Structure 1
């Protein structure tokens, strides 16, 4: 996780097609996130952004997939994150 004054960039390892969506610990230097959405037609990427927006209390427009559009290894930028949203992420780390 890279934290700056106005944004956070997360390194994630995504497991699409899971029973339920949720964080599942660490995978190397990334946080592992299971997604219930299948990895077809961008459904998992859309579900990822929606899940993170909801988890952090952000509008979807403030969550951006930076890299890894077709990979399980992804980087996601969160802009305008509140102190409580950042605290929830740090608790996972």
Structure 2
């Protein structure tokens, strides 16, 4: 299955167009390799998604063409999720 479709169906990213944009910006890795939206994902792959200020690592457990909202979370297991602090943020007490 294409990466952008998996992200939408699994609801890791709500819209396929947003998933395509994020992937094409180089913010998603599949098994440690930067992926494009057209990259193929399969069961057993590990995704690393860099959102604005957080990084999510998830293992793909199941591939489904369509899913209900309740079943979407069964398509992946979250390995880790961490917030990334912006070191360029100005604080008035520096």
| TM-score under structure 1 length normalisation | 0.30
| TM-score under structure 2 length normalisation | 0.30
Greater fraction helix: 1
Structure with the larger RCO, 1 or 2 (CA within 8 Å, 6+ apart): 1
> Greater CA radius of gyration, 1 or 2?
2
